[in-house]
Amino acid sequence: MTTIRVLITLALHNNWSILQLDVSNAFLHGDLQEDVYMKQPQGFKDPIHPNFVCKLNKSIYGLKQSPRQWFSKITSSLRAFGFTFSKADPSLLIYTKDRTSIFVLIYVDDILVTGNDKSTITLLLKQLHSSFKLKQLGDISLFLGIQVDKTPTGYFLHQQHYAKQLLHTAGFNNSKAALTPMSLKQSTAIHTQASFSDPKLYRKLAGSLQYLSITRPDIAFTTNYICQHMHDPSVADFQTLKRLLRYIQGTVALGIPIDRGDLQLRAFADADWAADHTDRRSITGFCTFLGSTIISWSAKKQVTVAKSSTEAEYRDISSVTSEVIWLRRLLAELHIPQTEPTTLYCDNTSAIALANNPVFHARTKHIELDYHFISDHIKADAIKILHMSSAEQPADILTKPLPKDRFLFLRSKLNIRYPDV
């Protein structure tokens, strides 16, 4: 999903059109590399040999091999045209020849094509038409359930239709809207709460919320919290889920704008130390921006307990550094090289000092590996870590429930907004 947002930003910056393609019966195109047999289908059994089996010549839906064989088939056709795989994202293929650059992004049977040479793109589409039953859907408008609206300044990504379907499924169409996705007062003894009577419904709604967070960073923290309890949800967990649905009901049209501007990569990292009352693990949150456009974010619980707030923040810096290094590689392949070190903003002065200071103390020995990883990239001028006040830290919205005023302030800093009227 990050690659999709970056590719749309690139196309907008260069005034390229983004074509959307769909392949009919994609999995039927795959060629099998091994012998696969199936029972005779009902209604087509040979009365003379009812116990015989069918040997498949090509892949069909339902085979474990089908997705892999389809991907191999479509990418082989593109590579024959002159495309090469991106080293950062295997679903992205790149064609570069002289001054021509074309990018193809594949997600199963949905394909995006953009580039700077319309004649070469036309030639590519002609070749694909000769091999596959291809449907050209015009300029990008609805991709993987994400609505992409053209605006005077760029694009607006949202999932309004999906959100309305989710609310309808949950029976929250006419519910009273909540101002924030999560209450500030959460039970500290959730494990003692009674189990929710319909865990299947809870898991269904939690999975749908996770997909909705593709264009809604403002619900990422609460969604992550809800998904942590899918194995045995309590009544209190379902109350939290209902609160989130009420928030979505009042903000169903929110989305992410992609606007023109500079293409400088920036990152923000924050952690809430020992935030989980059940196991005292810290919550990690980070977000990255390309210019004014938010392109990736994360809200998750750390895998081990941190002994100090410095350690929790430092592990968060390590996580966002990994994301930044990957993004820098991806942007370089998309001809958006980051010539300057990527600025990473953190509000913990001790963690920043530790990142820049090679002296270790007894209390920091156990995070030495994270130190060497971060230090190497600082020395290589890939990143630089600067301090930012906690009041201005946008990643704070990804680590904890917040009061209304602060939540709305940080939501605006993430550039999450309603569509322009």
List beta partners, residue 298.
286
Q: Is the pLDDT of residue 367 over 90?
A: no
With beta carbons less than 8 A apart as the criterion, state whether 213 and 219 touch.
yes
Amino acid identity, position 9: T
pLDDT at res. 376: 85
pLDDT at res. 398: 94
Q: Is the pLDDT of residue 187 over 80?
A: no
96-100: long-range contacts at Cβ-Cβ below 8 A with a sequence spacing of 24 or more? none
pLDDT interval class at 266 (50, 70, 90): very high
The enclosing H or E element of 392 equals none
Tokens 């009812």 belong to which residue? 50
Q: Diameter of the chain by CA atoms?
A: 82
Task: Kindly list the strands in the beta sheet with 383-387, ordered across the sheet, starting from the edge strand earlier in the chain.
Answer: 293-301, 283-290, 265-272, 342-346, 383-387
CA–CA separation, 207 and 227 (whole Å):
8
pLDDT at res. 34: 87
Domains and CATH numbers, the chain: 2-144 (no CATH), 261-388 (3.30.420.10)
pLDDT at res. 368: 62
At 386-417, the pLDDT tens digits run: 999 999 999 999 999 999 999 999 999 999 99
Share of the chain above pLDDT 70, in %: 95
pLDDT at res. 420: 78
User: How far is the CA of 69 from the CAs of 28, 59, 63, in angstroms?
Assistant: 9, 8, 10
In 28-156, alpha helices (H)? 66-81, 118-131
Q: Is the pLDDT of residue 267 over 90?
A: yes
Q: What is the mean pLDDT of the chain?
A: 90
Amino acid identity, position 53: V
At 108-152, the pLDDT tens digits run: 889 999 999 999 999 999 999 998 988 888 899 999 889 999 999
Q: Is the pLDDT of residue 63 over 70?
A: yes
At 193-238, the pLDDT tens digits run: 788 888 999 999 999 999 999 999 999 999 999 999 888 899 999 9
pLDDT at res. 364: 58
pLDDT interval class at 305 (50, 70, 90): confident
Share of the chain above pLDDT 90, in %: 63
Torsion angle of C-alpha atoms 31, 32, 36, 38, degrees rounded to 10: -20
Backbone phi, psi, residue 42, to 5° = -60, 135
Backbone phi, psi, residue 409, to 5° = -65, -50
pLDDT at res. 345: 95
Torsion angle of C-alpha atoms 389, 394, 400, 406, degrees rounded to 10: 80
CA–CA separation, 188 and 156 (whole Å):
39
In 104-219, alpha helices (H)? 118-131, 160-170, 199-212
Residue 226 CB partners (closer than 8 Å, separation 6+): 206, 209, 237, 240, 241, 244
Q: Is the pLDDT of residue 243 over 80?
A: yes
pTM: 0.88
Which one, of 89, 93, 86, lies nearest residue 111 by Cα? 93
With beta carbons less than 8 A apart as the criterion, state whether 160 and 151 touch.
no
Mean pLDDT confidence for 97-106: 94
